[in-house]
Amino acid sequence: HAVAELVGVSKSYAGGVAALRSVDMVVEYGELLAIVGPSGSGKSTMLNLIGTLDRPSSGTVCIDGFDVATLSDRQLSALRSRRIGFVFQQFHLAAGRDALGNVADGLLYTGAGRRDREQRAEAALTRVGLGKRLTHRPYQLSGGERQRVAIARAVAGDPPLLLADEPTGNLDSVAGGGVMELLHELHQSGTTILVITHDREIADSLPRQVQMRDGQVV
């Protein structure tokens, strides 16, 4: 199986808006790709479906070999914690927790003890170049560093899929370039990464892009 497979996927919202219309798409393990398209083209809807935050109106969504239609909400939430790492434009870090705590908290779902979680968090922060910033809180970090903490949190549990929603949207071009470089490095070391963006330049810098328009892949 693939890490994500969408077959004939449609999504309509209340009021009848067809946000996705019969989309087929496969993301293989080891890929680094962009979903790119203008505002309203269906990118967030794709993110929510692939991230198992929402279910399709019709068609099949399989993540890491699991058909989401066959899973209860509880099973879906377990799949999401274990198999998908999320990175957002707004870093979504806890202001009262230092970098180590933010990343360690992201591993609570594993049931591992604090010591174990902190060791894994330190390893993840080292991996993103923040091994010397473990005890810094978000306000003591630059925007680029905050996003690196968020990326460390997303990959600390080694999920098969990393979903990054406009990961550079809140950063200047230098910090944004650094974050994209980090995503390339993680990809080189085997992480599967899907970037959602409206930025054509970012999409062009990745090995593959899926272009969306009016709810369809073009």
Cβ closest to ligand ADP, residue 12 vs residue 113: 12
10 is a site residue for ligand ADP (CB under 6 A) = no
Kindly indicate which of the ranges 21-29, 41-49, 134-142, 187-195 contains the residues binding ligand ADP, using the contact rule CB under 6 A. Answer: 41-49
The amino acid that residue 40 corresponds to is: G
9-40 as b/e: b if 16+ CB within 10 A: bebbeeeeebbbeebebebeeebbbbbbbeee
Smallest distance from ligand ADP to CB 105, Å: 11
Cβ closest to ligand ADP, residue 23 vs residue 88: 88
Kindly indicate which of the ranges 44-52, 58-66, 110-118, 152-160 contains the residues binding ligand ADP, using the contact rule CB under 6 A. Answer: 44-52
Using alpha carbons, select from 93, 109, 83 the residue that is nearest to residue 192.
83
207 is a site residue for ligand ADP (CB under 6 A) = no
Using alpha carbons, select from 70, 39, 40, 28 the residue that is nearest to residue 52.
70
94-123 as b/e: b if 16+ CB within 10 A: eeeebbbbbbbbbbeeeeeeeeebbebbbe
Smallest distance from ligand ADP to CB 26, Å: 20
Q: Which member of 37, 101, 106, 176 binds ligand ADP (CB under 6 A)? A: 37
Distance CA 107, CA 154 (A): 9
17 is a site residue for ligand ADP (CB under 6 A) = yes
57 is a site residue for ligand ADP (CB under 6 A) = no
Please name the residue ranges forming H helices in the chain. Answer: 43-50, 73-83, 99-105, 114-127, 143-155, 173-188, 200-204
197 is a site residue for ligand ADP (CB under 6 A) = no
Q: Restricting to residues 78-97, which ones interact with ligand ADP according to CB under 6 A?
A: 86, 88-90, 92
Exposed, middle or buried: residue 154 (CB in 10 Å: 0-12, 13-18, 19+)? buried
209 is a site residue for ligand ADP (CB under 6 A) = no
Smallest distance from ligand ADP to CB 53, Å: 6
Tokens of residue 6, six digits: 């969408």
Q: Restricting to residues 109-148, which ones interact with ligand ADP according to CB under 6 A?
A: none
Q: Binding residues for ligand ADP, per CB under 6 A?
A: 13, 15, 17, 19, 37, 39-45, 48, 53, 86, 88-90, 92, 165-166
